[in-house]
Amino acid sequence: MSVFIAKRVLTLIATLIGASMVIFLVMEILPGDPALVILGVDASDEAVRALTKELGLDRPPVERYWSWITGLLQGELGNSYAYKVPIWELIEGAMLITLPLAVMSIALSIVLALVIGLYAAANHNKAGDVTLMGISQLGISIPNFWLAILLIILFAIELRWLPAGGFPGWDEGILVCLKALLLPSLALATVVGAILARITRSSVLEVFREDYVRTARAKGLSQRATLWRHVLRNALIPVLTVTGIQFSALLTGTVVVENVFHIPGLGSLVLKAINNRDTIVVENVILLLATMVITVNFIVDILYAVVDPRLKAHDI
């Protein structure tokens, strides 16, 4: 097990380094002159030269990459060009909104998936199963940002139950904030929940056909006890993997959905940064999002081995 984990940790570190290099290459080397990107093509030579010096762009790329990474590890990212405040402050504030939103959405989608998936599997090929699977097929096809707009029209404009957007800030009390995040997380969780529900259903059905389940039933274990003791643990392995994969979809989903609700999270931050040509902010937010995706996949890999010890033997 420890060899397996050590191997995975090494892969994790290598992947993170690789990702940061790709981002650095695309954002700072590819455009030729980043100062020109920030100031626009009409900028005077003096302004470009001054900014180049201010941002230290005249140093060799390897040195710049190194100081970016060491600064990152110390929480020192320099100042945003557009806002003149430390980038770390901007990112911290946005993270405090995006992370709870992502966690809320993934929790909501797992609950949705387990309830729907287990119900559908238990009523295999009956009316309830067919209806739910039809609805989930629709759920997969609906763009989350459109669903977000529809939810605003229904719950904020027609019924006036929930706010149409914005975020009050955590100082205003947790309840108000959760209320503001409810519609966005619902918009995000519907799509992911629909995908996970289908996986849960087919995976439970598959495990129910295994010999050891038949044996358990044959020795007199009730359907319910078989489900909890034998089926669920095995059936949840594929669900776990797909949840890991879906997390990256969910994160990019937050980027879009945050903009629908005007919630000042990472997604809004990165879009504003693009419009302000604040490439350094874009660079850091992208790295942060990529790091989150990579880390979640790493955790899923480890959990995977914990849930299914057979995988360690193969060590794929």
Q: Which residues bind another protein (CB under 8 A)?
A: 11, 14-15, 18-19, 22-23, 26-27, 30-31, 37, 137-138, 140-143, 145-147, 149-150, 152-153, 157, 164, 202, 205-206, 248-249, 251-252, 255-256, 259-260, 270-271, 273-274, 277, 279, 282, 286, 289-291, 293-294, 297
124: tokens are: 């295999």
Both structure tokens of 202: 């087919």
Q: DSSP for 16-81?
A: HHHHHHHHHIIIIITTS-HHHHHH-TT--HHHHHHHHHHTTTTS-HHHHHHHHHHHHHTT---B-T
* Nearest-angstrom CA–CA distance, 134 and 125: 12
Beta-ladder partners of 86: 79
Q: State the nearest-atom distance from the C-beta of 286 to another protein, in Å.
A: 6
**In this structure, what token pair is assigned to residue 134?**
């039809």
Specify the DSSP element, H or E, that contains 197.
Answer: helix 174-208
The nearer residue to another protein, 137 or 222, going by C-beta atoms, is 137
In whole angstroms, what is the distance from residue 8 CA to residue 227 CA? 32
In sequence order, what are the residues at sequence separation of 6 or more whose Cβ sits closer than 8 angstroms to the Cβ of residue 129? 119, 120, 121, 123, 201
- Least Å distance between CB 12 and another protein? 10
Distances in Å between the Cα of 35 and the Cα atoms of 32, 100, 104 are 9, 35, 39
For residue 19, give the amino acid letter: A
Closest to another protein by CB, 103 vs 274, is 274
Task: In whole angstroms, give the CA distance from residue 163 to residue 261.
Answer: 9
Half-sphere exposure of 106 (CA within 13 A, CB side): 19
Q: Report, in Å, the least distance between residue 171 CB and another protein.
A: 28
**Nearest alpha-carbon partner for 283 in 18, 21, 7, 9:** 21
* Least distance between another protein and beta carbon 63 (Å): 21
Question: Rounded distance, CA 231 to CA 221, Å?
Answer: 12
3-state secondary structure (DSSP) of residue 135: helix
